[in-house]
Structure 1
Amino acid sequence: MLGAHGVSHMEQTRLAMGLLWDLWYGDIPGWVPTYKNLLAVNEIAEANALVDDDQENGELHFDGESFQLGQERLVKLSDQAVALANAGDYIGARKSIGMALHTLQDFYAHSNWVESLVQKGAANQIYPGLGYPNTMIYPLDNKARTCENCRATTAVFCGDCDDNLKTIGLTSGYYSGEPKFKKISSAKCSHGGPFDGSTTYDLGLIDSVIYVGQGINKDSSTCLLSPHRSLHIRAAQIAIDATKDWVNARIYKRLPQLQSDYLFGKEYKDGSLLDPGAPTLYDLLISSIQPHKRDLMSRATALDHNMHTVAMAENVHEHGKALLRAKVGRNSKLYPVQIIQDGVKERGSEELVDDYGWRETALATGGHLITVPKDEIMEAVALLDTISRPNNNEILSIAVTGPDAKIDPEFVFPIDSSLKSLVVTTSGATSFEILNPNGSPYELASSAAGTEMRRVGNTIALSLNSTTIPPPGLYRISLKAASNYTLSISGESDLSIISFYLAEAGGRPQHRAFFPIQSLPIAGEMPMVKAHVNGNFTDGKFEFRTKEGALIASQDTVHREVDSEEIATMFYGNSSAIPEGDFMAYLTGVNDDGNTFQRAVPMMISSSKLRLTVPIIQRMVVGEQRKVTIGLTNLNSIPDTYEVFAVDSKDSIIEVTRSNIELKPGETGSFDVNFLPRMNSTIGMTEVVIGAKGRATKGNMSLQRFVLEPKSNPILYSRIRYHQYANETEQLIERLMMGMKR
């Protein structure tokens, strides 16, 4: 659905989830939805909207009277979401829920259920049993006449379709391009709209009118896209009720309370790593994590800790590092990745082992490369608990490498009244000092409760709580460092960036929405920026800065949304021209108390001049082979040879058809990636990276996540209690009007 012309799929999902929060948690004194809820619901809502990128499978949209397959899909996805949540794969579960909700909501926009209610004079009713395993819905006979052509009017492209339905029996429109559900007769309904080839248009003027086809969709409130536009709001209202009912009954109530809270964002596991009996750092971190949280990637392990990601680093191929970046998310990731490495050979030795390129990964994700001697293992665990706090917001994120680094640098940062704590972390510096706004040193009460200083290996962390944090103002921090250092200043605050990403349009032409770009942005282009900010402030603006902290551009075209329907403030608009190289996004402004504030998105954004064209991979099924064709366009001014690769976290890739591609300036090429998920693969979320590395110029990568699904099985006949036939819809509505569920 097109949000600009009605209530979109994402809006329906958010509205329904808001009602569910009140139902689930409204009786908890003082509890209100927080940014955690919005993070979880955004994952569900985006997975919902992305279903529109698949226009070949009609059952995803209940098109073409695909009621049996659509019903089986809803049952399968609900079972899958519950299984994934019970296994701790909450991201995979949310994606499964989102995909199911799109299908559920499309039932009301694409079928004539709402029109049948109107014809019988019935109040809003969700279709009984939709998405439940005890019900099967059977379509009308192929020969049944369901629609006739709309009457032409003087409105261009907008015919009078109010009376084009010829049945009260349950039907849905056919949409061109869905091979399993081709329209078999002109007597069947079309989806409708200018992008539907199953309907008929005569673009020649006949008596100053244009002839239109027999569509029935209610996707939007504009006649250009939706022939039954007048029923759009009613269809959306019923879809919201159905979303609320289905999520509550088919997901929430089937899970233990704790898993439900994790799934929908009320709580987050902090995953304490403390295990005194572990003999080594590697074993310590591995042994204290439940098996479903482990992800072994060529002798590197990534795990969640207080919403951060911790990686134990060894010598891993660069493709494994790319996979780690995919695992922690695209440029919407707001929590840094801490890289742990056994970096000192002997106690007291200054000789460091090769970092194997992990420093670059730490820099790219806003974290630190923490090199730790073996006899400081327990100190390293305590350090992680200090720097990886679940509600910390990045205020300043700096990384400097190379011989040109400024010696003993200073950086300015604000402290505002919303901050409840402060954490300063640096790797590579021997010491640091905080300076007051007047330039005098800030005296640390090192012995006072609320002040904690830790030094482990190459890393120093200072933690201040609400009693020891400095008052609001502009402060400076001075480092004793020469080169290869990182600096992070963060603090707990209700004023926080929930999400930030560069976006591109996706979805069916009449359902366009903006989603995070799948690959590195192209230098010089101006993609859409979308962001959500939690908390109260009077003024705010996004900026692009270098990783060293220098201002690149102020994002004057990224505007604040005044009347957002969400619990957070939304920013949107086109960015300034994407700079070449690496950069970061910052939000600066003034809070409600008049204090200057600053927040950083720690994930570094890297630009490219190689355009990758990668189809969005939503789902794959074990045992089923799939080919994905990747396009490359060289936008550089020189020719280059690109080494191409693909890697995924479940070892589903069986072939990349080319190893390298030579491209002249402006030239385009392609290669194929063949997937065949193994039958014994673990079901759930899969991270996949598809990339091309230039020999002379910078390459590009596409980072995606899809759900690996088991083979589909029809609903067992023994589970079906209610057999509902499309030609009995009138009687079904009458029973509902009498207050009977069946």
Structure 2
Amino acid sequence: MTARETVLLLLVVVLSLPGLIHTFKPLFTFSGNSTTHRDITRNAVLRKTAEICRDFAASEGQDFTLTINNNLSVETVQRACVSTSSFTSPLSTVMFHDAIINMYLRNAIVDLVYTLSDEHHFDKETFQGGRDVITAGVSAVKAAVKLENFVAARGILGQVCHTLQDFYSHSNWVELSNNAPYSALTRPDQPLENLAGPSTPTCRNCTGGDCADNLLPDLLQQGLLTSGYFSIFSSEKPTGKCSHGGVFDQTSRQDPVGGINKDEVESSHGSLHHKAADVAVDATMELLEDIRLAVGDKNFLRLMGLSQSSVLCFVIDTTGSMSDDIAEAKRVSFEIIDSKRGTLQEPSAYILVPFNDPGFGPLTITTNADTFKDSINKLSARGGGDTPELSLSGLQLALTAAPPSSEIFVFTDAPAKDFQLKGIITALIERTKSVVTFMLTDVLSRRRRRRTPTGVRPRKIGQSDAQLYRDLAQASGGQVIEVTKSDLSLATSVIEDSSASAIVTVFQVVKNPGTPDNFTFIVDGSLRNVTVYITGNSFLTFHLTNSRGVSQNSSQSSGPLASLSSVGNLRRLRLKADMQTGIWQISVSSNNLYSVKVIGQSSVDCIFNLVEATERVHGGFNLKEGRPLSGGNISILLTVTGSETVKVTEVTLFDSSGPTEVNGSLQPMENGIFLVTFSGVPAGDFVLLMKGENRSVSLKSTPDTFQRQVSTQIKTSSISITTQANSITIEPGSSVTIPFTVATTTNGVVNDSATGMITVQANNDRSYPSNITFEVGSGGKTNGTVTLRAPPNATSGTDVTLTIEARNAASADINYAVIGLSVVAKVTDFTSPLCQVVSTSATCPSSSSQCASSQWEFVANLTDGDTGTGIQRITVRQGSGTLNTSTVVGAGGENITVATYNASCCSPNVELIAVDNIGNVGRCVGQAREDPTDPTDSTNPTNPTIVVVKPTGTGGHTLSISHSLWISVVVSVLWK
């Protein structure tokens, strides 16, 4: 065994032991009433989001009755943030839930990846190192948001929050009677003061296991800051220093014995656990406020996932025969844009990726509908010759750019030239949970093909080529629509259907080879606009039967249950509005490949995440990367959205290609969240089906039953691949090395005697240089590393997705690891923009009845200092006046932004926010002067003129968690 393997094995052993985690507990607690990192992160996000919506409602004169505290839920916040009078469709909270889940799962992973890093946990008095982790992470978040890489930004933000929150559990900050956050941790322009010196004693022995008074009185009297030492390998620590404490902290056995952590109520200083958690919530909100001011309200809400609609994403073949297809993609996208613009159902973003051969891209991703229109207008069909095109390369770019759970549409009439990317694409689909639907024209058409207006003869896709697209569609829960070019416009209704809000999958199955079969699905009272899609050849027939026995067959275009339209291989049934709830059945007769998919609109949906459960007493588990192992156990964290009255009764995995079905064991974690465990799952391609009861939509004494199916397939593998990415960022011009281990398993356990060849390849979506190295394998395992290098000119904030794929010799079994990295240039500018008040002109009457007839003006000069990166923007955070800016050159050659603000005396206060190009935030505050001669001022008519101006240049941070703010930029997102 190599030295590296020995260290890794030791870490695996100790990490699996109970009680090792030395932080606020990561996700959930199964005993006591301790607060977890998940609770802290979730509460801070919900409160900060609710504050934005509250203040915006106030600025619009609308009611906002939600009480902002730590008892908020995702559903109550999103409902409060949406103008229900202008939004009658079901309310979806999936994106909001998913964003928060992503943040707290990435928060929890710090305990696994950085277990022994003092800086990531503020252990051993590493205050400067801990602050460096926070400030570097915040800079990375701001850079990623600037480029609209929200998924990457959420992951980094979750990890940064973990380190920040640990400070309040591991240091003596709250023991020093501090009730507010330590703002210097997020403000690198401020000094870290009153730190205990390296040789300053900080603790004395705990007495009889009681550590309540083990901090030295001199330390408390002087207000010195310290944190506990922690080690699982050695008891060594400086003389007189505090320990973290706990069963596995070896330093806590050396004088002074005991510890000072507040990780849970049972900890050494557990009596202060809840106080530390409360301050950690406020500190997290303070961090979120800084990010919000830096990126703007609209992007902050997108970062939080507060949206009612998904993206509109097209991947389009632009070779010569595709002119008809491009025209149809343009038509349907314009129709969606024009019909939904300015509403809450307007797509949250627009993505376009063209491809042909030999190129693909560029990627267009924008929130501006007109920019998207302009990009798709510029597409033209030209070139061609050899039939295959780079369709999978274009799809890869879309999958890594689009938010999770996006719906992606691929238009082509050609096979994939880059078919070797199938495994990579499948891995990205499984990781992002995005749905891919292929719009294929002229698949194996036997008639003579007409030429396009450009004279290019249309191509054809063979059945084996089409099967590649079918496999990818099935893996994602999408469809393959096969039509002629002239009929494509009749099939794009599926795109319009998917662009509605709150789309859920009720049931889906693919039969290949096809056999006649009967399928049942439940229609519940929360569903609206239920649509059934059936794909198959022209000989397919079906019968649809509702819960009362009423039937309609495939020959009835307008029957008692639904309206039917058919084009190409697609049958689309839209159930009538007065549909009956209960169990429906659809019987399909065909011996060829076919699929059935049932969708609808509902607020009730589910989100799943594969996790790896551990044996810790606190029930910890971490995010599972890659596929679960064949024959082993599968753990899934299941979150049910949209209703607080839902009860999940059954969760199963079933393989539609065979009779295999595995029932899950349900463990409720808290309202709407369940840990589902499946034992001994065999090899196969499974989908997850959830059934339950919902009392909120039922007027009967019995609850309303429902079912939801997860679109993305869950595939098992006998190949294990694990990685240890010690960094999620990479600097331009530098390299990152990621170690990995590949092994063959049997029944979920590494097979030490396994033989055979496993091929490993690495791929990234940015085409950055990379290479793989291997060590000599033993015991059924092989170790290796992937080294990835970012070009020197890589833009800070760019995200790169690295996929490591391992497959056996027959290529029948595949597993993968997907690592998301962010390119972040090293930040050296931590100085906030400076504000110099020039003047506050005019005076205002003190009487509110006379304010409307008077105006006042505020003028300030804003600069970013000699070494700054320049001011990016200035906005009005408080005040209802008009802001104008201009740029002049100062005496020293520096750029000065002159801000001139004019307002009515009815709005006598102003707060300007200045953000530089790095994301540092500065504030400039002013107030109108009162007229000392105002006869209506009976309180002090002889007062002299008063000027209240507070120019600041030390950042935009504050201890307050409630502000009046500008939010006009999010009107189209929330309230239109």
Q: TM-score range by the shorter chain?
A: 0.7 to 0.9
User: Out of 91, 95, 99, which is 1:36 matched to?
Assistant: 95
Q: Which amino acid aligns with 2:393?
A: S
> Which of 179, 186, 191 is equivalent to 2:239?
186
Which of the pair has the greater relative contact order for Cα pairs under 8 Å at 6+ separation?
Answer: 1
Please list every run of 5 or more consecutive structure 1 residues that lacks an aligned counterpart in the other structure: 203-210, 723-735, 738-742
How far off its partner does 1:618 sit? Answer: 5.2
After superposition, what is the alpha-carbon deviation per residue over 1:671-694, rounded to whole angstroms, capped at 9, x for unaligned?
A: 222222223335344333222111
**Pairing 1:112-123 to 2, within 5 Å after superposition:** 112-117=172-177
**Mapping of residues 236-315 of structure 1, within 5 Å:** 236-247=277-288, 249-272=289-312, 279=323, 281=325, 289=351, 291-293=363-365, 298-300=393-395, 301-302=397-398, 304=402, 307-311=406-410, 314-315=415-416
Q: State the percentage of identical aligned residues.
A: 23
Q: What SS does the aligned partner of 1:267 have?
A: coil
CA distance in 1, matches of 2:543, 2:583: 14
Q: What is the RMSD of the two structures over their aligned residues, measured on CA atoms? A: 4.1
Opposite residue 20 of structure 1, the aligned amino acid is K
1:41 maps to amino acid? I
Does 1:369 pair with 2:480?
A: yes
Superposition pairs of residues 425-464 of structure 1, within 5 angstroms: 425-430=533-538, 432-437=542-547, 439-442=549-552, 453-464=564-575
SS of 1:690's partner is strand
Distance 1:72-1:668 versus aligned 2 partners, 3 A rule = closer
Q: Which residue of 1 aligns with 2:48?
A: 20
Query: What is the CA–CA distance in structure 1 between the aligned matches of 2:301 and 2:44, rounded to whole Å?
Result: 16
Aligned equivalents of 1:361 and 1:514: distance in 2? 30
Match of 2:581 among 458, 465, 472: 472
Alpha-carbon separation, structure 1, partners of 2:548 and 2:286 = 59
Aligned mate of 2:127, from 67, 92, 115: 67
Choose from 532, 537, 552 the match for 2:646: 537
| Matches of 2:229 and 2:829, distance apart in 1 | 24
- The range that moved more, 574-583 or 314-323, is 314-323
Determine if contact 1:503/1:529 at 8 Å carries over to the other structure. yes
In 1, the alpha carbon distance for the partners of 2:595 and 2:256 equals 62
Do 2:730 and 2:736's aligned partners in 1 also have CA atoms closer than 8 Å? no
Does the Cα contact within 8 Å between 2:211 and 2:269 map onto a contact in 1? no
* 8 A contact 1:338–1:368 mirrored in 2: yes
Residue 105 of structure 1 deviates from its aligned partner by: 0.9
Which residue of structure 1 aligns with residue 716 of structure 2? 607
Maintained 8 Å contact 2:533/2:572: yes
- Partners of 2:511 and 2:794 lie apart in 1 by 41
Contact 1:655/1:674 (<8 A) preserved = yes
Return closer, same or farther for 1:152/1:94 CA change in 2, 3 Å cut-off.
same
Letter of the 2:803 partner, please give it: V
Give matches, 1:284-683, under 5 Å: 289=351, 291-293=363-365, 298-300=393-395, 301-302=397-398, 304=402, 307-311=406-410, 314-315=415-416, 317=418, 320-330=421-431, 333=433, 336-342=435-441, 344=443, 352-353=461-462, 354-355=465-466, 357-387=468-498, 389-402=500-513, 405-406=514-515, 408-430=516-538, 432-437=542-547, 439-442=549-552, 453-464=564-575, 468=577, 470-497=579-606, 499-505=607-613, 513-534=620-641, 535=643, 536-538=645-647, 540-548=649-657, 550=659, 552-555=661-664, 557-561=665-669, 563-564=670-671, 569-592=672-695, 593=698, 594-616=703-725, 619-622=728-731, 623-636=733-746, 639-652=755-768, 654-658=770-774, 667-682=780-795, 683=797
TM-score by length of structure 1 reads 0.81
Aligned pair 1:195/2:303, yes or no?
A: no
Deviates more, 1:601-610 or 1:76-85: 76-85
Instruction: Please name the residue that 1:232 is paired with.
Output: 273
Contact 1:308 1:390 in 2 (8 A): no
1:471 positional shift:
0.9
Q: Is the 8 A contact 1:452 1:462 kept in 2?
A: yes
For residues 483-504 of structure 1, give each alpha carbon's deviation from its aligned partner in whole angstroms, at most 9, with x where no partner exists. Answer: 322221111112221x123311
3-state SS in 2 of match to 1:501: strand
Aligned to 1:421, what secondary structure does the other structure show? strand
Q: Does 1:84 align with 2:84?
A: no
Deviates more, 1:27-36 or 1:376-385: 27-36
The answer as to whether partners of 2:312 and 2:407 remain within 8 angstroms in 1 is no
The structure-2 alpha-carbon separation of the partners of 1:462 and 1:257, relative to structure 1 and needing over 3 Å to count, comes to: farther
Indicate conservation of the 8 Å contact 1:57/1:178, yes or no: no
CA distance in 2, matches of 1:196, 1:421: 58
Letter in 2 for 1:673: V
CA contact (8 A) 1:647 1:688 kept: yes
Structure 2 equivalent of residue 217 of structure 1: 261
1:730 maps to none
Counterpart residue number, 1:109: 169
CA distance in 2, matches of 1:658, 1:7: 43
Cα–Cα, structure 1 residues 711 and 22, in superposed 2: closer, same or farther, change >3 Å?
closer
Contact 2:230 2:244 survives alignment (8 Å)? yes
Give the drift of 1:133.
5.1
SS of residue in 2 equivalent to 1:95: helix
User: Do residues 151 (structure 1) and 206 (structure 2) align?
Assistant: yes
Shift of 1:411: 1.2
1:273–1:201 CA distance, 2 compared to 1 (3 A)? closer
Question: What is the CA distance between 1:49 and its match in structure 2?
Answer: 1.6
Question: Which structure has the larger Rg over C-alpha atoms?
Answer: 2
Kindly indicate whether residue 820 of structure 2 is the aligned counterpart of residue 706 of structure 1.
yes
Question: Structure 2 CA distance, aligned partners of 1:453 and 1:82?
Answer: 49
Structure 1 match to 2:215: 163
CA 1:607/1:143 → structure 2, altered by over 3 Å: closer, same or farther?
A: closer
| 3-state SS, counterpart of residue 692 of structure 2 | strand
Cα offsets for 1:283-336 (capped at 9, x unmatched): 976997364539996344536599323345752545633333444453x83x53
Query: Structure 1 pair 143/129, CA: closer, same or farther in 2 (3 Å)?
Result: closer
Q: Which amino acid aligns with 2:620?
A: A
Contact conserved, 1:125 with 1:238, CA < 8 A, in 2? yes
- Structure 2 CA distance for partners of 1:48 and 1:539, relative to 1, 3 Å: closer
Measured against aligned partners, the alpha-carbon deviations of 1:385-438 in whole angstroms (never above 9, x if no partner) come to 224544121111101223xx31x4331112111111212123334454422345
Distance 1:552 1:628 in 2: 37
Q: CA deviation at 1:360?
A: 1.6
SS where residue 138 of structure 2 aligns? helix
**Residue 627 of structure 1 contacts residue 672 of structure 1 at CA under 8 Å; is this kept in 2?**
yes
* C-alpha distance in structure 1 between counterparts of 2:261 and 2:531, whole Å: 53
Aligned-partner residue type, residue 702 of structure 1? Y
Letter in 2 for 1:289: I
- The separation in 1 between residues aligned to 2:480 and 2:398, in whole angstroms, is 14
Deviation at 1:625, TM superposition (A): 2.4
8 Å CA contact 2:246, 2:252 repeated in 1: no
- What are the residue-to-residue correspondences of 1:731-742 with 2, within 5 Å? none
Note the C-alpha offset of 1:21.
Answer: 3.5
